Amino acid sequence: MRISRLLVIGVACSLAAACGGDKTEDQGGDAPKNGKITVTATDTECNVATTETAAGPVTFAISNKGAKVTEFYVYAGGDRIMGEVENIAPGLTRELIVELPAGTYETACKPGMIGKGIRGGFKATGENKPLTDDAKLKQATTDYQRYVKSQTGALIDKTTEFVTAVKAGDIAKAKELFPIARTYWERIEPVAESFGDLDPAIDARDGDLEPGQEWTGFHKIEQDLWVNNDVSKSGPTADKLLTDVKTIVEKANTVELSPLNLANGAKELLDEVATGKITGEEDRYSHTDLWDFAANLEGSRAAIAALRPVIEEKDAALAKTLDEKFAAAQAELDKHRKGDGWKLHNELSETELKALADTINALAEPISKVAPLVATK
Amino acid sequence: MDRRKMLGLAGAGAVGAAAAGVVGAQVFDSPNPAQAADAGAAIPFYGAHQAGIVTPAQDRLHFVAFDVITSKREELVELLQRWTMAAARMTTGKDAGSIGAVNGAPEAAPDDTGEALGLPPSGLTLTIGFGPSLFRTADGKDRFGIADKRPAALADLPRFAKDTLQPAISDGDICVQACAHDPQVAVHAVRNLARIGFGVVSVRWSQLGFGRTSSTSRSQTTARNLFGFKDGTANLKAEDAKLLQDHLWVQAGDGPEWMTGGSYVVTRKIRMLIETWDRTSLGEQEGIIGRNKGEGAPLTGVKEFDEPAFAVKDAAGESTIAMDSHVRLAHPDFNNGARLLRRGYNFVDGSDGLGRLDAGLFFIAYQRDPRRQFVPMQTQLARQDALNEYIRHVSSGLFACPPGIKAADDYWGRSLFA
């Protein structure tokens, strides 16, 4: 009942606005007059007449109907100021003309001229050009592709050593090499994952597969090593693993990446940490999850490093936040170093795991802002 | 998108008396019971006191306690400002962020999680409180330069007899009580606040509640708890202006100054041993509570709101309302006149693996000074209450809830951090 009544009111208002038939002074949602967008500001509200317009020069007419002096801002992502009017005394109306390229913005009234203001979404619509036109973004993908190449080289070398140890029946050596070979895999996993059928063949866990599907890859051998303590029948699985790794490496080094792949990959690596490593689901037999954790974090950092000049230019504060949060996550992880490697997952307390989860959440939220930043021109 | 647009227009257009009356109204000192009339309507976020205290108790609860994980004061203040913005939006039925769940760039994660799209404000209130540990850590460290502003009334609660508290679901640096008539709206609010807080705060515990167990206004009937009894008949109510001043709101001069107009909240998760209670005879149940089960009248009266006559004795010379009955031990007459504004909710967290409902009462009580109100009351109840055989206190929380947000340049905790 409630919803339908409000909807009816909404339709009636927007029709009136669209027709321009109603010019009652105290209506917050006025139709644009002379192409201007009216903004009615009070001490607790900021009513912008429309929240979408065509890209190009846009005029706002701000009326302060509150009791406090106010300000009006238009922000792009990361609180970059596109335009502002300050010192609008109660009762006054001021105008702001601002050039807005196509994109998503925020409007803000600041009664009392402090704080973050009362924000609203705003959209300028127009044409979009491909991101690769941007020289800095092109450079970022080139840099990251070089990183992928270096990692895939090591991945093949270490997987070869691991497979050799398994086939030689050297369980101790294979156990030692298992987390090391996986490190190179985990650093570039989002790139690898884009080749649908090969990722499960290499990295599926028991239970990921449907009945009847053959279980192969790292985790099958992990079970043979740690649970069955017998690799005498693991030879064919080991051979297939190496073949699959070589195939995926070849594909990874020829695929054309977009800057958005980098940004999203950086976030996905942290999602991997949050859902698989902190819970101990990834390496459930060997408990070497912290090796994978460290590799995911390094891979994420490498992708962001490639994009850093772009982030720095568009939102220096975000770049700084990312530096801090990466450092904090690394510091929290470093508490669990042991020799050349890491403690086992089951050696960490609930409190220690929660602290790790908190630092990953703290990092992943700002990282999720990189993709839209990269996409904004 | 629809959620935000339709409400914005309804509020701004001054059309439809029912909608405009509640959406646009600025109610300060005088809570209006009529607000509860429409379960979809908005409760004003701005006011002299925080909403969600004397606001007629909504049907649903999501209560969350956070640990602050940053050591930087400016990060905490920044978060409180961002939270206030989001809370002001969500309580009017808008998306948590200004761009919204579906209006942003396709490459961006939305700044609202979206599950409340299309839902009305549903009476959502968000009420914040600061725990003792925010001011000083257990080992005495002044975390954010506010240790000297810790209210004396925010003294750690003592250990009460029979407490079986679980630390993991107790205490916390900051709490937010989200109440709404629609559980999805309350959960949406807590989820979005938690998301905004990543890196600065971390969720310590949270509790869902259904079915208010108290009425906070005379416009409401008294609800029942999971023992099947009316609960909170003698509760402080929004209309009792003088009593609210005496028992609920921190008054000028109580100290510290930043709490004036605020209140202290105590939460207790009280597990009920439902199954043993259910096989207790009606007479014994009524004797333990001190009220009859149907009407809720005291055993010496006929109607729910009849005053209990504690002096009355039966033919055998025993008090009609037993000395260890709940209603007697909790009554102001036996607690130096102390009263509470209770705002609790029933909870059922599934079952416990032994075939029993994991159920009970999430007790929430607001008051002017816990040292004079909750603490002596609970000390007495914990020692003597006949009900103790059927309940276990498993979690506890104490928080100082600052006064209300007056306008958009104000933020949660400004009086504390300014």
Average pLDDT over residues B70-89: 96
Residue A48, pLDDT score: 95
**pLDDT of A30 over the 90 cut:** no
* B49 Cα to chain A: minimum distance (Å): 16
Partner residue opposite A115 with nearest CB, options B11, B40, B409: B409
- For residue B412, give the chain A residue with the closest CA: A115
Rg of the Cα atoms in chain B: 22
A275-287 burial string, b = 16+ CB within 10 Å, else e? Answer: ebbbebebbbbbb
**pLDDT of B291 over the 60 cut:** yes
A128 touches B: beta carbon within 8 Å: no
**pLDDT of B260 over the 70 cut:** yes
Contacts of A40 in chain B (CB under 8 A): 12
Residue A133, pLDDT score: 63
Q: How far is CA A83 from CA A40, A44, A154, B91, in A?
A: 17, 22, 50, 29
Say whether the peptide bond before residue B256 is cis (omega within 30 degrees of 0).
yes
**pLDDT of B32 over the 60 cut:** no
Handedness of CA A120, A109, B130, B330 (dihedral sign): negative
Residue B20, pLDDT score: 34
A44 touches B: beta carbon within 8 Å: yes
A369 touches B: beta carbon within 8 Å: yes
B65-87 burial string, b = 16+ CB within 10 Å, else e? Answer: bbbbbbeeeebbbebbbbbbbbb
Contacts of A12 in chain B (CB under 8 A): 15
Contacts of B22 in chain A (CB under 8 A): none
Contact yes or no for B103 and A104 at CB 8 A: yes
Chain A interface mutation, best of B27, B38, B67, B98, highest count of A Cβ atoms under 10 Å: B98
Residue B13, pLDDT score: 34
Q: Residue B105: CB partners within 8 Å, gap ≥ 6?
A: A103, A104, A372, A375, A376
Check if the beta carbon of residue B212 is closer than 8 Å to that of residue B223. yes
- For residue B41, give the chain A residue with the closest CA: A2
Q: Where are the alpha helices (DSSP H) in A50-170?
A: 135-167
Chain B interface mutation, best of A42, A74, A110, A119, highest count of B Cβ atoms under 10 Å: A119
Token reading at A299: 């891979």
Contact yes or no for A29 and B16 at CB 8 A: no
Contact yes or no for A106 and B39 at CB 8 A: no
Residue A132, pLDDT score: 58
Average pLDDT over residues B200-224: 92
Return d(Cα B258, Cα A106) in angstroms, integer: 32
Contact yes or no for A6 and B7 at CB 8 A: yes
Contact yes or no for A68 and B202 at CB 8 A: no
- Please tell me the pTM assigned to this model: 0.79
- Cα atoms found within 13 Å of the Cα of residue B351, Cβ hemisphere only: 5
Contact yes or no for A68 and B407 at CB 8 A: yes
Of the pLDDT bands very low, low, confident and very high (cuts 50, 70, 90), residue A215 is very high
**pLDDT of B37 over the 60 cut:** no
A55 touches B: beta carbon within 8 Å: no
**pLDDT of A23 over the 50 cut:** no
**pLDDT of B376 over the 90 cut:** yes
CA angle B188, B191, B193 (to 5 degrees): 105
Give chain B's length: 418
Task: Write the pLDDT tens digit of every residue in A194-206.
Answer: 666 788 899 998 8
- For residue B2, give the chain A residue with the closest CA: A7
| 3-state SS string for B19-50 | HHHHHCCCCCCCCCHHHHHCCCCCCCCECCCC
Partner residue opposite B409 with nearest CB, options A10, A27, A112: A112
Contacts of B104 in chain A (CB under 8 A): 104, 121, 372
Task: Write the pLDDT tens digit of every residue in B296-351.
Answer: 999 999 999 999 999 999 999 999 999 999 999 999 999 999 999 999 999 999 99
Contacts of B173 in chain A (CB under 8 A): none
- Mean residue pLDDT of chain A comes to 85
CB pairs under 8 A between A and B: 142
- For residue B202, give the chain A residue with the closest CA: A358
Task: Write the pLDDT tens digit of every residue in A54-96.
Answer: 887 788 999 999 999 999 999 887 777 788 888 888 888 888 8
Contact yes or no for A9 and B407 at CB 8 A: no
**pLDDT of B84 over the 80 cut:** yes
* B318 Cα to chain A: minimum distance (Å): 53
Contacts of B7 in chain A (CB under 8 A): 6
- For residue B16, give the chain A residue with the closest CA: A9
Which of A16, A61, A62 shows the shortest CA–CA distance to B15?
A16
**pLDDT of B35 over the 80 cut:** no
Q: Which long-range contacts (CB under 8 A, 24 or more apart) does B68-75 make?
A: B68/B134, B68/B143, B68/B173, B68/B174, B68/B200, B68/B201, B69/A358, B69/A362, B69/B199, B69/B200, B69/B201, B69/B202, B70/B199, B70/B200, B70/B201, B71/B143, B73/B144, B73/B145, B73/B417, B75/B199, B75/B200
A290 touches B: beta carbon within 8 Å: no
Contacts of A120 in chain B (CB under 8 A): 98
Q: How far is CA A13 from CA A8, A18, A41, B7, B144, in A?
A: 9, 9, 19, 11, 48
Contacts of B9 in chain A (CB under 8 A): 9-10, 13-14, 29
**pLDDT of A310 over the 50 cut:** yes
Cα A32 to chain centroid, rounded: 37
* A373 Cα to chain B: minimum distance (Å): 8
Contact yes or no for A115 and B118 at CB 8 A: no
Average pLDDT over residues B221-234: 91
Contact yes or no for A68 and B10 at CB 8 A: no
Residue A113, pLDDT score: 83
Contacts of A119 in chain B (CB under 8 A): 85, 97-98
Contact yes or no for A27 and B13 at CB 8 A: yes
Q: Quote the strand ranges of chain A, DSSP E.
A: 37-41, 46-48, 52-54, 56-64, 70-76, 80-88, 93-100, 103-109, 118-125, 337-338, 341-342
Task: Write the pLDDT tens digit of every residue in A147-202.
Answer: 999 999 999 999 999 999 999 999 999 999 999 999 999 999 877 766 667 888 99
Check if the beta carbon of residue B396 is closer than 8 Å to that of residue B362. no
Of the pLDDT bands very low, low, confident and very high (cuts 50, 70, 90), residue A338 is very high
Check if the beta carbon of residue B397 is closer than 8 Å to that of residue B65. yes
Q: How far is CA B259 from CA A358, B68, B370, in A?
A: 31, 21, 14
Partner residue opposite B98 with nearest CB, options A13, A112, A119: A119
Strand partners, A109: A72, A118
Of the pLDDT bands very low, low, confident and very high (cuts 50, 70, 90), residue A29 is very low
**Helix (H/G/I), strand (E/B), else coil: B86:** helix
What is the percent of chain A where pLDDT is above 70?
88
Contact yes or no for B409 and A14 at CB 8 A: no
Of the pLDDT bands very low, low, confident and very high (cuts 50, 70, 90), residue B114 is very high
Give the strand pairing for A80-88 and A52-54.
Answer: unpaired
Contact yes or no for A68 and B120 at CB 8 A: no
Residue A255, pLDDT score: 78
Residue B24, pLDDT score: 34
- Judged by average pLDDT, the poorest of A366-375, B10-19, B132-141, B246-255 is B10-19
A116 touches B: beta carbon within 8 Å: yes
- Judged by average pLDDT, the poorest of B96-105, B146-155, B266-275, B368-377 is B96-105
Check if the beta carbon of residue B289 is closer than 8 Å to that of residue B387. yes
Chain B interface mutation, best of A332, A358, A359, A377, highest count of B Cβ atoms under 10 Å: A358
Of the pLDDT bands very low, low, confident and very high (cuts 50, 70, 90), residue B103 is confident
Q: How far is CA B172 from CA A299, B80, B151, in A?
A: 35, 16, 16
Contacts of B105 in chain A (CB under 8 A): 103-104, 372, 375-376
Q: Which long-range contacts (CB under 8 A, 24 or more apart) does B30-33 make?
A: B31/B55, B31/B56, B31/B217, B31/B238, B33/B217, B33/B218, B33/B219, B33/B220, B33/B238, B33/B239
Q: How far is CA B397 from CA A351, B148, B264, B370, in A?
A: 20, 21, 10, 12
Of the pLDDT bands very low, low, confident and very high (cuts 50, 70, 90), residue A258 is confident
Q: Where are the alpha helices (DSSP H) in B224-347?
A: 241-247, 274-278, 282-289, 326-330
What is the percent of chain B where pLDDT is above 90?
80
Partner residue opposite A13 with nearest CB, options B13, B38, B100: B13
Burial of A1: CB neighbours in 10 Å, binned 0-12, 13-18, 19+ = exposed
* B138 Cα to chain A: minimum distance (Å): 17
A274 touches B: beta carbon within 8 Å: no
Partner residue opposite B9 with nearest CB, options A29, A109, A111: A29
* B7 Cα to chain A: minimum distance (Å): 7
Return d(Cα A22, Cα A39) in angstroms, integer: 16
CB atoms within 10 A of CB A11: 12
Residue A49, pLDDT score: 94
Contacts of A354 in chain B (CB under 8 A): 202
